[in-house]
Chains A and B, each alone.
Chain A
Amino acid sequence: MFDISALNKRYFEIKLTAVDDDGKEKSLKLEVEPPKIKVLKRLFSIVKKATEISKISKEKQKNNSDGSTEDIDQNVVNANIEIFNVLLEAVQKILSKNKSHTKVSTEYLEDLDLDQLIEIVNAYFDWLNKSKESNPN
């Protein structure tokens, strides 16, 4: 009989760093578990939403080429904040399911910038894809 619990687990390893109030740098190593199907679907929809916001923002920039640069800048800032919040939700979801059941405190996440969030999400999806392809037929 095929026993699903006998499957060898694979983990996504990630190291987060944060600076505490005394200026000391501390780090947190996590072994993130693969997501459940329903979480993966949610992650896809979150990333899709972030992509759509980015696309709309770029179109607005294009259409507002006659407008003042201040309006354009404000639109870009607003879109980036929205994308940041959406991706932060995705990263929190990804990291919360780890091997040691460590709760990732916000101090590790609040210092991340948009590029770092995008990198984490990309690396996570790359890991999923490579794990799938690494043991071919």
Chain B
Amino acid sequence: MAKQIERIKPKLKIPYAPTGERKGHYEVNMLEEKIVRDYTGYDFDRLNNLSVFEFWALLRDAIVYNCKQTEEGRKYLNDCWLHDQTEPDRGALLKYFGKH
């Protein structure tokens, strides 16, 4: 029997948390492509031929990987995770305030 390829649905959403930093007067047009290029080693031509979901998956991985390299980046990722939470952490609340 042929071995079935395991299909995965990667996460695509890029971690984000507001930092309050000013963007400055100039923006890089192809910043996302550069981040993925540096992470994968793909050239721009190859990146342009990726499907958007493949590109977004790589971009997310590249950003998470880059952030994990520094203390500041790890703090930012933690802020992103907190920013995404919509439910209260009942366990922590119970521990902090007690059962009553």
Contacts and interface: CB of A to CB of B under 8 A. Distances in A.
A6 interface: yes
B54 A7 contact: yes
Contacts of B47: 37
Secondary structure at the A interface, as helix, strand, loop or mixed, is: mixed
B52 A128 contact: yes
Contact of B12 (A36, A41, A131): A131
B11 interface: yes
Interface stretch (B1-9, B20-28, B68-76, B91-99): B1-9
B9 to A, nearest CB: 5
Interface residues of A, number: 22
A35 B50 CA distance: 8
A35 B56 contact: no
Residue among B8, B52, B81 with max Cβ neighbours from chain A (10 Å): B52
Interface string A90-132: 0000000000000000000000000000000000000010011
Interface string B70-86: 00000000001100100
Interface of B: 5-13, 15, 33, 47-58, 60-61, 80-81, 84
